[in-house]
Amino acid sequence: MSIAVMNPPALESTRYEPLRVMVVDDSVVIRGLISRWIEAEPDMTVVGSLRTGLDAVNQVERINPDIAVLDIEMPELDGISALPQLLAKKRNLIVIMASTLTRRNAEISFKAMSLGAADYIPKPESTREISAADVFKHDLLQKIRHLGLKVRRLKSAAAPSVVPAAPRPLAPLAPVAAMAQLVKRPFSPIMPRVLLIGSSTGGPQALMTLVAEIGSVIDRVPVLITQHMPPTFTTILAEHLARASKRPAREGVDGEIVKPGQIYLAPGGRHMRVVKQGLNITIALDDGPAVNFCKPAVDPLFNSAIDAWQGAILAVVLTGMGSDGMRGGKDIVAAGGNVIAQDEASSVVWGMPGAAANAGICSAILPLNQIAPKVVRIFSGDRS
């Protein structure tokens, strides 16, 4: 067995030090590919390249990674079995589960997130296909970089005066917004007739927490959700949302009429919009290009809902990378609707909600556990 391990540096990490990544995959080809991609980036480095989950558990304390890319299917100890042991040895370790797009692996990825994994990434069936490898590379590096922001800030706060002798050049950290300085709009007096939700990294767990507490809202109005996810994963997520909410939830079907009492989820690989047709509002699925580097994307749903409900909309932007939902949220507010964003402290990544908050379009910026009660109050007529 060949295991490549680099010892941790003597100096405490600071904001200038690259993110320390451990790659765990039984495929030497995948390990090599991911390692080369990471090493080519100035803000991250590979500190361990391991073949099995058992190797990772045995080596994690010595390697001291910030982030682990953990394959699901491995000999000796698979990813889902290794995950709790890794987190027990290094509580703040950020784990990204990696798997091919099968129903079984999607189910395991959801279980892993409930056990403490930060995110997942679908691996292409074959990295020989250039386009598939390019998407995988882009998504993986973005997840490592954005999930690592909190790691860097914690380390920078712990050792602000320590600077490595020869730091690799990095882009400056994104500034942490002061919540008190964010401009919030008064709630619109218009009673919303639909609830729209957009989410990405960290979204599945946040969504299940939210829908479990808004049953009275789901019974009164339709709920439409766009979560950045590939096919198969959205199918499984819809099933989890149905169990969490105790209400019908499924992927949207092209042409179906949108009704109260139902949760509609954008299917992986297609944008979900809504269209007014006479007295009915129907779902329109779109196989067009990615929007905000995502497919499905939140903005197409948000924008299409304005004509359908004449601005009588409440939109919620949950944890996620990037800024998807911000532009659509602006248009919703301009049409008379309202936007709520998840706050930074409770977000896995404060990209999407942070973009909405910093754009000044939100009427509330709340911790995840306060969003559902607020949503229920809004649909009960409270505009405070």
Residues labelled as active-site residues: 200, 228, 324
Beta strands in the chain (DSSP E): 4-5, 19-24, 44-50, 67-71, 94-100, 119-123, 195-199, 223-227, 249-251, 263-265, 271-277, 280-286, 314-317, 338-342, 364-366
- Return phi, psi of residue 296, to 5°: -75, 160
Alpha helices by DSSP H, listed for 68-166, are: 79-89, 103-114, 130-147, 149-158
Q: What is the C-alpha to C-alpha distance for residues 79 and 65, in angstroms, rounded to an integer?
A: 16
DSSP 12: P
Return the C-alpha torsion angle 356, 362, 367, 368, nearest 10: -80
Q: What is the C-alpha to C-alpha distance for residues 329 and 258, in angstroms, rounded to an integer?
A: 21
Do 151 and 21 form a contact (C-beta atoms < 8 A)?
A: no
Helix, strand, coil percent content, the chain, rounded in steps of 5? 40, 20, 40
Q: Provide CB contacts within 8 A for 339, sequence distance 6+.
A: 314, 315, 316, 317, 329, 332, 333, 356, 361, 362, 363
